[in-house]
């Protein structure tokens, strides 16, 4: 009897481990998330995504392994946290008063806008009271919370909530005409408009909404505090860099541009795909990056001539063609091979402290306006307190090359820096679209094969999961999606 009582006493006196101590003891950080281009997905090089990258950084800081628990929806991810099956949730979670009753939210990771989406061709509604048709939102979403509040002033408002479809599924259903409206976050809408160009935004339901991580409210705050310290330590600059990496160019190309690329990928790209693949393989590049540059330069038109005299499918100048020993700039195969060698040479000229993906984006600046101007803008960026090794900082400085106050300080003078800025953004967008439109397994070339060369990061988003892309059967332009 005495030994049993003593055992009980000892057990009750032993302090339980804090949430942070449990993570460190098990050496695993369990993170609940969802498959989404804004959070977590499997890219050609493995797991990626904005919130995945952040969570991986937290796990590394804590010295533990990151264990991803994929939930069917953001509310399901929250339930994994509340039940103790996950330590935290990183699932594009909108901060709301109702959710805040059950979980602790971290500082905001980014800010989005909840928007109502309809299909091009339909009459755009002015407000929620103006809706004529079916409105469907994910069950348990913050969008449903917005609608409950809106119904107070619009009693006739009706909608349905679904557990079977996530936000991306509903966007596809709007694009195909299966439903009339849905509500989604602005970042997810912008990504999907490139794949479903008939998606249109009618209006915003709120000025903004914060996206944050969630932690159990009924447990101690030690893990929450550690995550807060981590986010505070990386700072807004690094958060901005991550946001740019994943979302910085998603609105660069409009719906018409997306349709045009899909059309040209079907009618023009097949003629030159093998040439892009061969040239890329010879120079350690991703062929879709090379094709994206070419599309930005000429829309894959070998006879293209710019007002400044550059010619061909890769728009090489006469001097560059001579240097690359390209005898005929208007021969698409010579031009593609020369353009690949040129990009490779630029990448190799950059100092080793410039790492991917910034290395590739800065090389694109030089491809557009020359290595000399790139060096100028990198030096200018450093002098202004930025980091000339980082695309995000250099991008902010590029427009200054068109202003006398600034370009007079540089070695090579005036340059159309704003044009170069848009060039890089467009190429990044076209590259992401080509990754979606082509199956990387068809030719065995993925960015993982080029880990030490150009673009060792994954594209900014994954394609919608219900689409099986193929470059030869790209998108049927008569499809209701387009």
Per the listing, tokens 């009459």 go with 123
Tens-digit pLDDT profile for residues 214-238: 999 999 999 999 999 999 999 888 8
Which pLDDT belongs to residue 318? Answer: 84
Strands (E), 34-141: 41-43, 46-48, 65-70, 88-94, 103-105, 110-112, 114-119, 136-138
Q: Which residue has the tokens 């953004």?
A: 425
Residues with Cβ < 8 Å from 242, sequence gap 6 or more? Answer: 50, 53, 54
Instruction: Give pLDDT, residue 452.
Output: 35
Q: Please, is 391 exposed, middle or buried when counting C-beta atoms within 10 Å of its C-beta (0-12, 13-18, 19+)?
A: buried
Active-site residue (options: 51, 79, 172, 297): 297
Tell me if residue 297 is catalytic: yes
Domains of the chain: 2-110+211-247 (3.40.190.10), 114-207 (3.40.190.10), 255-473 (1.10.530.10)
Q: Extract the residue ranges of the chain whose pLDDT is less than 50.
A: 1-14, 44, 440-453, 455-482
Q: How far apart are CA 285 and CA 394, in angstroms?
A: 23
Beta strands in 175-227 (DSSP E): 182-185, 199-204, 209-216
Please enumerate in sequence order all residues whose Cβ is within 8 A of that of 254, keeping only pairs 6 or more positions apart, or say none.
none
150 class by beta-carbon count within 10 Å (0-12 exposed, 13-18 middle, 19+ buried): middle
Say how many Å lie between the first and final Cα of the chain, rounded: 78
User: What are the residues facing 204 on neighbouring strands?
Assistant: 115
């Amino acid at each position: 009897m005495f030994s049993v009582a003593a055992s009980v006493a000892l057990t009750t006196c032993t302090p339980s481990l804090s949430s942070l101590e449990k993570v460190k003891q098990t050496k695993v950080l369990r993170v609940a998330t969802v498959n989404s281009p804004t959070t977590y997905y499997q890219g050609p090089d493995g797991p990626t995504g904005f919130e995945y990258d952040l969570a991986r950084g937290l796990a590394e800081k804590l010295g533990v392994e990151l264990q991803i628990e994929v939930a069917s929806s953001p509310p399901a991810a929250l339930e994994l946290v509340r039940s103790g099956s996950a330590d935290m949730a990183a699932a594009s979670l909108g901060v709301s008063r109702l959710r805040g009753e059950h979980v602790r939210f971290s500082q905001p990771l980014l800010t989005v806008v909840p928007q109502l989406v309809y299909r091009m061709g339909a009459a755009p509604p002015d407000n929620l009271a103006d809706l004529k048709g079916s409105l469907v939102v994910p069950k348990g979403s913050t969008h449903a919370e917005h609608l409950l509040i809106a119904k107070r002033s619009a009693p006739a408002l009706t909608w349905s909530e679904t557990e079977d479809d996530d936000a991306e599924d509903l966007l596809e259903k709007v694009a195909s005409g299966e439903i009339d409206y849905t509500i989604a976050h602005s970042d997810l809408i912008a990504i999907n408009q490139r794949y479903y160009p008939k998606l249109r935004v009618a209006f915003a339901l709120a000025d903004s909404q914060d996206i944050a991580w969630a932690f159990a409210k009924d447990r101690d705050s030690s893990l929450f505090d550690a995550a807060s310290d981590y986010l505070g330590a990386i700072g807004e600059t690094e958060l901005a860099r991550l946001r740019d990496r994943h979302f910085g160019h998603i609105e660069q190309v409009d719906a018409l541009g997306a349709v045009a690329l899909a059309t040209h990928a079907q009618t023009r790209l097949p003629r030159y795909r093998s040439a892009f693949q061969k040239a890329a393989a010879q120079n350690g590049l991703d062929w879709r990056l090379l094709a994206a540059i070419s599309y930005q330069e000429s829309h894959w038109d070998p006879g293209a001539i710019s007002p400044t005299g550059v010619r061909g499918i890769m728009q090489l100048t006469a001097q560059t063609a001579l240097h690359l020993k390209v005898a005929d700039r208007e021969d698409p195969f010579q031009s593609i091979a020369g353009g690949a060698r040129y990009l490779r040479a630029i990448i190799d000229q950059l100092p080793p402290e410039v790492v991917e993906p910034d290395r590739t984006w800065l090389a694109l600046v030089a491809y557009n306006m020359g290595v000399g101007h790139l060096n100028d803008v990198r030096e200018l960026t450093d002098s202004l307190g930025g980091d000339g090794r980082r695309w995000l900082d250099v991008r902010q400085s590029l427009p200054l090359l068109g202003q006398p106050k600034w370009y007079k300080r540089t070695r090579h003078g005036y340059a159309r820096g704003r044009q170069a800025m848009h060039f890089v953004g467009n190429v990044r967008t076209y590259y992401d679209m080509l990754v979606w439109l082509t199956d990387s397994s068809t030719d065995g070339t993925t960015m993982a094969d080029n880990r030490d060369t150009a673009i060792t990061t994954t594209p900014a988003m994954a394609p919608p999961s219900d689409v099986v892309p193929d470059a030869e059967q790209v998108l049927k332009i008569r499809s209701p999606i387009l």
